[in-house]
Structures are given as structure tokens and as C-alpha cells.
């Protein structure tokens, strides 16, 4: 499993290198586009970037630099891509991480209720409600919430992570950030909920046909106990895997939503890099997004094998 | 009519019979037909010249007019009618969604069938590549490809097709593997049938139901991806999809102006079409695999 993940990472690296070479035959030229720079200076810069060497040598250089954490310089900010990315990680982890946990918990509970009360109004409300949120573009939901709760009813700020010019520190600063985070987090939670609810519901429905639940009931256990001790633990496994897989998407999961709320994370960095286009930035972000998914997939596989001994060696 | 053909016609009739008795499937189909009709009849329903800001100015449209001031859906920042954008946007969104799905299903089915049928080393290599594509996060990959390749409807279709085929390939491969074990395949082979004939006459008819259900469920993903790419500024500047409308509304400050009429219709259109395809796809899936319906 570990070897497979390393191979996939290597594939991403190769892919990333060639993808950006396809368009970018002359990065130095595009970096100083429209400026009057003498030819010998350009040649010198090309030599600095290693662009006068063969494709093979360039690839080796690229891999070496990447492994050392050197991802190049952003066209837009003229800062190292690595620094730009490092600055954007915490806001994204806070926003998407919180939404991922909230949606997993609420979605699972909703799925349990829907399955246990199958074909009642509760089931129908949960199933169709989650499907509606699942079928809309998440950033559009964000736009609606923004108009509703930041413009018409000015309860929340229209964007950013702190009030502009705010010098608050400590608890006040944290509260200000939470205030800014509320609407984007609500958007993402609603958008992610459906997946968990549907999977929990169908997994629990499958378990509900099992003999051991009939036995548990025959022993005279109350409905609540049967559900909590016998049904849910046996049905929760797919949700655990889904959560682990989705954690890999935390970094890349909110590109458009972050753009709507001007949340200064990796998603907004991606949206800004597209407008450039800031290719070194996009390249670095793509590497990070892919790496995160690969690592968390591996963790999901390991967790799965540990929780369910039947899949050992699979 | 040959026996095989008669059977196929009978199967199609049976599937339609099941489909008609499913309320969710029929609701989905009705909604979809309304939007298809809108896309086809766009030239009748809305004057395409209204999409041109110069024309809109000359015809004296107000700026940022709400629906009560300008029928049916108000105007935007450059005086264009939102209704006209909505009608013509349905064309682009449906076309891109369907074309990208066709490409997705085509790549996925070819990889799945070849990989599953040939087996051995071909299978191992192809599945390895499929796994790579499955693991790379789909939206960032589409974003990177689209930024690198340029901005046109065809590139968007290509990008969506190239990034979303792996799950189809896996599903089709699994089905091919079980069909391959069936007796009629052995019988055909012992009668001297070649690989192409077996795939075309025995494997394909037995996986086509699955492919169709999968295709219907892939359309929502294609449409939502197109919407997101267009919203991030990667859409075709010359043809306005619903996603493009959402982008323009957002970029030009419709939110702060509370110009809900500018971005509400396009989003509702996407929601309705995506739900329609999901409902139809689920119904087809239940017909193809009746065990599912017990759980839903």
C-alpha cells in the first residue's frame, strides 16, 4: 500500500513537470513579458533557471528542487510559492476542517434517523433535503447565504477573515474570526452533509436486515439500545472511510466557496492564481492538493484494514 | 427481425414500463424535457441580440433593473436581460454537460472493456493508470488543465472528460469480468468467434444498461464541474453558460447590491437539471439492479 502511494506521488511529480512544460516553453520570456530586457540578460536568467539544459536534466533539477521545498517564485506576488502556500494553509484547515467534522457528525446522525424511521416524513425530509443541497453548486449556496445574512440582514461580514484594520488580539480576535467563518462554514457543512447522510442511511438499512438485531430485540432490549449498541457500530465503517478520504480533500475542497467569501486560504489562492494565470503558484498548489489526497487515502486504507480484519491484505 | 433484436426491443419495453411506474423517474424526465425544450427553442423564446451589451444599451434597457421593472427577470450591470441570458445559458450548460459525459463514458467504457476483457498485463497496467487518475483530486486537475490549455467550450469538455472517466472504467471493468465468466462467452469462443465479435455481440449488450445508468449519473458531475470552472473564470468568454452568469454576477457586485435576480435563476436552473438527471439515473440504476431499490 505504501509503495503504491509512493508510485502515485512519483506519477504526480512527473505529470506536474510535463503539464506545465507543455505551455510554458519559455518561463523567463513570460516572466518579463513586455519589458525591455537585453537578450544576454535573458539568456543568463534562462541559465539560472536551468532552461538551457536538456529536458532530462531539467526534470532532475525540478525533482531535486521540489524535494527541497523550492517551488519557484509566484508571478503575482514575487514571493516564493512555498511561503505563499504556507501562509494560506491555516485558514483553509480551520474553515474546511471544521466544516468537514460538522458535516460528518450531523450527516451521520441524519442518516441514522432516516434509516431507523424509514419511509416516515422524517426520512423523506432528510433524504430530499440532503439531495437538494447535494445538487446545487456550493458557491451558489454561499452567494445566497451571503445576500441573505450579510447584505439584507447585516448579521455577518461580507468577506475576509478579520475586520479590516482590526487590531484586536487574543479572545476578541478569535471571536472576530469565528464571526467571519460562520457563513462559509455553514455553506460547506450544508454542501457536504448529503454524502454522509446517504451513505450512513444505506449502510444502516443493510445492517437492519441482519439476524443479530432480531436476536437483540428478542432478548428484550429497548429500541434505543439496539440501535446504539448493535446496529450503528456495525454500520459506521463506510462513514469512517469516507471521512478519512474527505480529510484528504480538506486542502482543495473549498476553492470556489473561499473565493466567494474572500477567505484567505488555499482555495482563494487558487482562484487568484487562475486569474493571472500564475503558473508557478498553480503548479505548487496542485502538487500540495494531490499529495494531501494520496497521503489521506493511504491512511484511510490502513484505518480500514485495522477496523475491519476481513479486508486484511486486500 | 432476428431473435436477438426482438429480445432487445422487449427489454427496452420492459425498462420503459418499469420507468413509467416510478414517480421519481418520471418527475426527473419531465423537468429535463422542459429544459431541453427551452434550450432547443432558445431562438424563439429570447432574442439572442439582447446578449450584446451594445444592443442592450441601444434598446434603452435600464441598468440593474429588478424583475418588477423589467420582465421577466430584470437586467444586469451592462443592461442585458437576465431572462435572455438564462435561456441561452441553458443551451451551453446542457451541451457541455452532455458532451463531456459522452466523452467520459466513452473513455471509461473503452478502458473498462479492454482492461476487463484482455486481463493479464494489459489489465494491470490500465488499472494502475486508472488508479492514478482516481487519486489525483479531480477539480484541481481540471483547473490546472483548463488554465494551461486555454478557454473554450471544447477545452472545457475535453478537460471534464479526461478527468472524470476513472470511476466509469472501474465499474465497467467489474461488470465485464462477471459477464466474461458466463457460459455464452465460452460457447461463442469455442465456435471460433474473434475478440471483436465477442465484445460487440456478447459483452457490450450485457454492460450497456450499466453504462447508461452510469452516464445519467455522470451528467450532474459534468454540469457542476462546468459551472465551477466557469465561475473561477475558466469558461469560454464567447458563450455564456449558467456558470458564466454566476461568475459575472459575482465579479460585478450583484451580492452587495442585493441583485438576487441576477444569480438566482442560473443557480436554480443548474439545481433543477442536476436533480432531474440524478432522479432519472437512480431510477435506471434500480431497474438494472433491483437489489438497490430495497434499500432506498
Q: How far apart are CA B67 and CA B74, in angstroms?
A: 4
Rounded to whole angstroms, the Cα distance separating B107 from B126 reads: 12
Interchain proximity A270–B264, CB inside 8 Å: no
Average model confidence (pLDDT) across chain B: 85
Q: Which residues of A touch B244 (CB under 8 A)?
A: none
Name which of A211, A170, A151, A187 is nearest A267 in CA terms: A187
CB contact under 8 A, A137 and B139: no
On whether any CB of chain B is under 8 Å from the CB of A221, the answer is: no
CB A100 within 8 A of CB A246: yes
Residue B293 pLDDT greater than 70, yes or no: no
CA distance B243 to B233: 9
CB contact under 8 A, B148 and A132: no
* Closest residue in chain A to residue B146, using alpha carbons only: A274
CB-CB under 8 Å, A286 with B246:
no
CB distance B288 to B213 below 8 Å: yes
Contacts of B260 in chain A (CB under 8 A): 144, 147
pLDDT tens string B213-232: 888 888 999 999 999 999 99
- Cα A74 to Cα A25, A77, A80, A85, A255: the distances in Å are 17, 6, 6, 10, 19
Q: Spell out a b/e string for A30-67, using b for 16 or more CB atoms within 10 Å of the CB, else e.
A: ebeeeeeeeeeeeeebbeeeebeeeeeebbeebeeebe
Question: Which residues in chain B touch residue A22, judged by CB atoms under 8 angstroms apart?
Answer: 148
pLDDT per residue as tens digits for the range B239-277: 888 999 999 899 988 888 888 888 899 999 999 999 999
Percent of chain B with pLDDT over 70: 97
3-state secondary structure of A33: coil
Percent pLDDT > 90 in chain B is 26
d(CA A260, CA A293): 24
**Is ipTM > 0.85 here?**
yes
Q: What is the mean pLDDT of chain A?
A: 81
* Beta strand segments in B3-55, E: none
Calculated CA dihedral for residues B164, B165, B170, B174, nearest 10 degrees: 130
Q: What's the confidence (pLDDT) of residue A34?
A: 59
Beta carbons of B255 and A131 less than 8 Å apart: no
Give the H or E element holding residue B26: helix B23-40
| pLDDT tens sequence across A44-92 | 766 666 666 677 777 787 787 777 777 777 777 778 888 888 888 999 9
Per the CB < 8 A criterion, the answer to whether B132 and B119 are in contact is no
The rounded distance, in Å, linking the Cα atoms of A113 and B182 is 41
Residues 6+ apart with CB under 8 A from B193: B201
| The pLDDT of residue B131 | 82
Amino acid at each position: 500500500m505504501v509503495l503504491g502511494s509512493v508510485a502515485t506521488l512519483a506519477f504526480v511529480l512527473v505529470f506536474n513537470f510535463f503539464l506545465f512544460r507543455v505551455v510554458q516553453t519559455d518561463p523567463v520570456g513570460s516572466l518579463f513579458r513586455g519589458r525591455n530586457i537585453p537578450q544576454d540578460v535573458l539568456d543568463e536568467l534562462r541559465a539560472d533557471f536551468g532552461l538551457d539544459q536538456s529536458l532530462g536534466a531539467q526534470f532532475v533539477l525540478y525533482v531535486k528542487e521540489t524535494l527541497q521545498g523550492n517551488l519557484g517564485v509566484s508571478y503575482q506576488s514575487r514571493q516564493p510559492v512555498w511561503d505563499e502556500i504556507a501562509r494560506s494553509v491555516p485558514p483553509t484547515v480551520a474553515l474546511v476542517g471544521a466544516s468537514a467534522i460538522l458535516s460528518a457528525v450531523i450527516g451521520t446522525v441524519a442518516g441514522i434517523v432516516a434509516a431507523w424511521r424509514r419511509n416516515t416524513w422524517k426520512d423523506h425530509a432528510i433524504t430530499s433535503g440532503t439531495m437538494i443541497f447535494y445538487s446545487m453548486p456550493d458557491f451558489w449556496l454561499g452567494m445566497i447565504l451571503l445576500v441573505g445574512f450579510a447584505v439584507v440582514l447585516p448579521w455577518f461580514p461580507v468577506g475576509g477573515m478579520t475586520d479590516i484594520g482590526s487590531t484586536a488580539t487574543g479572545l476578541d480576535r478569535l471571536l472576530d474570526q469565528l464571526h467571519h467563518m460562520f457563513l462559509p462554514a455553514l455553506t460547506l457543512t450544508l454542501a457536504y452533509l448529503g454524502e454522509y447522510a446517504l451513505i450512513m442511511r444505506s449502510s444502516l438499512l443493510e445492517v437492519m436486515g441482519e439476524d443479530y438485531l432480531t436476536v437483540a430485540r428478542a432478548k428484550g432490549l429497548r429500541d434505543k439500545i439496539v440501535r446504539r449498541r448493535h446496529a450503528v457500530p456495525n454500520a459506521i465503517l463506510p462513514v469512517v472511510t469516507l471521512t478519512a478520504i474527505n480529510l484528504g480533500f480538506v486542502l482543495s475542497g473549498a476553492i470556489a466557496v473561499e473565493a466567494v467569501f474572500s477567505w484567505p486560504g488555499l482555495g482563494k489562492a487558487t482562484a487568484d492564481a487562475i486569474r493571472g494565470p500564475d503558473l508557478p503558484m498553480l503548479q505548487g498548489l496542485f502538487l500540495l492538493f494531490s499529495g494531501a489526497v494520496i497521503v489521506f487515502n493511504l491512511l484511510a486504507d490502513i484505518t480500514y484494514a485495522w477496523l475491519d480484519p476481513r479486508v486484511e491484505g486486500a | 427481425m432476428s431473435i436477438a433484436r426482438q429480445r432487445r426491443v422487449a427489454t427496452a419495453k420492459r425498462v420503459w414500463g418499469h420507468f413509467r411506474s416510478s414517480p421519481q423517474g418520471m418527475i426527473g424526465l419531465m423537468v429535463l424535457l422542459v429544459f431541453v425544450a427551452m434550450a432547443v427553442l432558445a431562438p424563439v423564446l429570447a432574442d439572442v441580440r439582447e446578449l450584446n451589451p451594445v444592443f442592450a444599451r441601444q434598446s434603452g434597457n435600464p441598468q440593474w433593473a429588478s424583475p418588477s421593472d423589467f420582465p421577466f427577470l430584470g437586467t444586469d450591470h451592462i443592461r442585458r436581460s437576465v431572462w435572455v441570458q438564462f435561456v441561452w445559458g441553458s443551451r451551453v450548460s446542457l451541451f457541455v454537460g452532455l458532451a463531456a459525459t459522452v466523452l467520459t463514458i466513452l473513455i471509461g467504457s473503452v478502458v473498462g472493456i479492454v482492461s476487463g476483457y484482455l486481463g493479464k498485463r494489459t489489465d494491470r497496467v490500465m488499472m494502475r493508470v486508472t488508479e492514478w487518475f482516481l487519486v489525483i483530486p479531480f477539480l484541481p486537475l481540471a483547473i490546472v488543465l483548463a488554465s494551461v490549455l486555454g478557454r473554450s467550450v471544447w477545452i472545457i469538455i475535453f478537460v471534464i472528460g479526461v478527468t472524470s472517466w476513472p470511476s466509469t472504467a472501474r465499474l465497467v471493468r467489474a461488470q465485464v469480468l462477471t459477464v466474461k465468466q458466463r457460459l455464452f462467452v465460452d460457447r461463442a469462443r469455442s465456435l471460433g468467434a474473434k475478440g471483436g465479435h465477442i465484445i460487440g455481440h456478447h459483452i457490450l449488450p450485457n454492460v450497456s444498461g450499466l453504462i447508461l445508468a452510469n452516464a445519467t449519473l455522470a451528467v450532474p458531475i459534468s454540469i457542476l464541474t462546468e459551472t465551477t470552472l466557469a465561475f473561477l473564470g475558466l469558461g469560454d468568454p464567447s458563450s455564456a453558460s449558467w456558470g458564466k452568469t454566476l461568475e459575472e454576477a459575482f465579479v460585478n457586485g450583484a451580492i452587495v447590491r442585493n441583485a438576487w435576480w441576477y444569480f438566482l435563476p442560473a443557480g436554480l436552473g443548474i439545481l433543477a437539471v442536476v436533480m432531474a438527471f440524478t432522479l432519472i439515473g437512480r431510477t435506471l440504476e434500480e431497474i438494472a439492479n433491483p437489489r438497490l431499490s430495497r434499500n432506498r
